[in-house]
Structure 1
Amino acid sequence: MNPVDVTQGSSPIILGFPHTGTDVPDDILARLNENGRLLADTDWHIDRLYDGLLPEVTTVRATFHRYVIDANRDPAGVSLYPGQNTTGLVPETDFDGKPIWRDGEKPTAADIETRLKRFHSPYHVALAREIERVRAEHGLAILYDCHSIRSHIPFLFEGKLPDFNIGTNEGNSCSPEIASAVGRIVFAARGYDAVINGRFKGGWTTRHYGQPQLGVHAIQMELTQSSHLKTEAPPFAYDEVKAEKLRKHLKDVLEIIKLTAVKLGSKQ
């Protein structure tokens, strides 16, 4: 199993997909319980949702499931949100706080170390390589990290999550021009709600790579699954009508990021 799939483009934008993969090696699948085998916490159809929206964009997609190891978590195991409920580098529970491993089959420290080398590291080696390639070509690179989540998950947050959740690590991972440009699009999108640096401020990918002072900008977009799925439960089917409506706004987001990238590049 190749842990990462890369499509190179000539755009200054890179789309990251750390959570769309559903591949689970047989030896790991055998250790998951019935609940874990649902793979419920997948970013269902997000790669399809963004497909074709921006010509010549580079994509980097993890093919493995986040239950194998989470490509958007600190390899050192440091929590993204200290003091709040969240899932770790190798989750022990799903987003509802329910166990995903069979009794006695939780991953050990040795298992995690093996998975870091086998899955997590290859994904980030590939992502870092594409960031550097794009930055060398354009003078800057913009990593747009693509995510989705159920709109109601009491274990993680109260109430309903906004449809568009923009994370910039409290303004530290990208230039204010990029954040405000994206904000103008999503806050004006009729029928949707949005927030910047709300419950989700950007995962490890956004925080690790986002160094605007070095010409690398990173922004995370967490979409509610109700915005493009028929239901936020198995079989998590794609809703063509919802998705096409949403894709128009996402296309506008990517295009304005590209225009902003050109402006930022001309200032350097």
Structure 2
Amino acid sequence: MSVFEVEQGSSPVILAFPHTGTDVPADIREKLNDTGKILADTDWHIHRLYDGLLPGATTVRALFHRYVIDANRDPSGQSLYPGQNTTGLVPVTDFDGKPIWQDGQEPDETEVSRRQQQFHTPYHTALRAEIDRVKAIHGVAVLYDCHSIRSHIPFLFEGKLPDFNIGTNSGTTCDPRIERAVADVCENAIGFTSVLNGRFRGGWTTRHYANLPENIHAVQMELAQSTHLASEELPFAYDETVAAPLRAHLKDILQNIEKIAFDLAKGN
């Protein structure tokens, strides 16, 4: 099975999709329990949501499911949010805290290491290559990490999640102008709610690749799935009518990021 897919573009902006994949090898799938086989924690249809919004953007998409191994987790296994409920490099529960593996079938350290080499490392090698390629062309690269999650998950957060959840790890992963441009669109999006560096402050991808002295910037966008799905339960269908207003705002965000990236390339 293919681990990832890349579409190279000419823009300084790179869109990463670590959690839209649904491929699970047969030997791994057979160890999942009925809860795990639902694959509920997929970032459903996010690559479709962003499709065509920024012509020229490079895209890097993991095709494997996060239950195989999570492409947005530190390969060392260190928690992104110490002291808070979360899931690990290879999750043992879903986002509701329910076990996803059959009894006695949770992957051991050897299996986690195997999956890291087969899936996690190749995806990030490809992502790093695209960041380096774009940086070499423009002198700047902006990584925009695309995510979504159900709007109500008590195991992870209280109440209803805002529609737009912007993560810059408290302003450390991108130029302030990029952070402000993203936040301004979200704050002014009528009918939508937003938060900057709330429950989701930017995952491992955002924190790992950001390097402001080298002019490499990163932002994570976590979207509530109520903004673009017909239902946040099976079959997790995409709703074009519901998604249309969101796509308009996302297009503004990406265009604004690209403009700032060109300014940064000029040293402005």
Give how far 1:265 is off: 1.2
Q: Does 1:211 align with 2:185?
A: no
Q: Deviations over 1:44-67 (max 9, x none)?
A: 000000000011110000000000
Q: Which amino acid aligns with 1:76?
A: S
Give how far 1:245 is off: 1.3
Work out the number of aligned pairs and report it.
Answer: 268
TM-score by length of 2: 0.99
Give how far 1:176 is off: 0.4
Give how far 1:208 is off: 0.2
- 1:125-140 to structure 2, matched below 5 A, reads 125-140=125-140
Residue of structure 1 equivalent to 2:76: 76
Distance 1:240 1:63 in 2: 23
Distance 1:219 1:212 in 2: 12
Q: Deviations over 1:213-240 (max 9, x none)?
A: 1111000000000000011111001011
Distance 1:143 1:234 in 2: 31
Q: Does 1:164 align with 2:168?
A: no
What SS does structure 1 have at the residue aligned with 2:266? helix
Residue of structure 2 equivalent to 1:33: 33
Residue of structure 2 equivalent to 1:56: 56
Distance 2:219 2:210 in 1: 8
5+ unaligned residues in a row in structure 2: which ranges?
none
Q: Which amino acid aligns with 2:52?
A: G
What SS does structure 2 have at the residue aligned with 1:220? strand
Q: Which amino acid aligns with 2:7?
A: T
On the 8 A contact 1:151/1:160 being kept in 2, the answer is yes
RMSD: 0.6
Residue of structure 2 equivalent to 1:143: 143
Residue of structure 2 equivalent to 1:105: 105
Q: Which amino acid aligns with 1:262?
A: F
Distance 2:32 2:182 in 1: 39
Distance 1:246 1:46 in 2: 12
Distance 2:128 2:240 in 1: 33
Q: Which amino acid aligns with 1:238?
A: Y
Q: Which amino acid aligns with 2:259?
A: L
What SS does structure 1 have at the residue aligned with 2:6? strand
Tell me the percent identity.
65
Q: Deviations over 1:129-166 (max 9, x none)?
A: 00000000000100000000000100000011100000
TM-score by length of 1: 0.99
Distance 1:79 1:72 in 2: 11
Distance 2:242 2:259 in 1: 26
Give how far 1:35 is off: 0.3
5+ unaligned residues in a row in structure 1: which ranges?
none
Distance 1:38 1:8 in 2: 32
